[in-house]
Amino acid sequence: MLTTSTSPLLHLALALAAATTSTVHAASHRIDVGRGGLTFTPDTITAAVGDTVDFYFVGGTHDAVTSEYATPCSPRASGERFSSGVQAGSANNKNVFRVTINSTEPMYYYCSVGMHCANGMVAAINPLANQTVADLKTSARGKSAGKPTGVYGGVMTTVP
């Protein structure tokens, strides 16, 4: 009877090869906050688990706060959520609020400063096809913005 034996080193080499060929690199998504007014640019992105979303505060005074689609100007109470805290923006601002995506579920967000949300400063990450940012802006019109309780769900970092 013929038997075969595989060395432990061969098993290790095969495992390492499999691990390195299946490595996926996370993407980084840039959102400019306040470029040209009450805007998140782009206002819609698709992000995978492990990706990062970087909020660059490039103009005005703004924040980024997660909400629910049905209540676009109120902080999200549970689930994946974030709040950047209010940031003063400028073209030379090196402070970036970075959020790591942990789920591909839709996340809607808004600016809670003044009447920014009521004037359509809303956006989405992984929105559902029937829940567009255009409809979210319409729903936000005239609503008072709920204020978040601090900074959470991301980290403030400095970029070169």
Q: How far apart are CA 122 and CA 4, in angstroms?
A: 63
Domain boundaries, the chain: 26-158
- Which among 54, 58, 108, 67 has a CA at the least distance from the CA of 87? 58
pLDDT at residue 24 in the model: 64
CATH topology of domain 26-158: Immunoglobulin-like (2.60.40)
The Cβ of residue 113 has, within 10 Å, a number of other Cβ atoms equal to 19
Q: How far apart are CA 125 and CA 6, in angstroms?
A: 48
pLDDT at residue 79 in the model: 85
DSSP letter at 145? P
Instruction: For 40-81, write each residue's pLDDT tens digit.
Output: 999 999 999 999 999 999 999 999 999 999 999 999 998 889
Low-confidence ranges of the chain (pLDDT < 70): 1-24
Model pTM score: 0.83
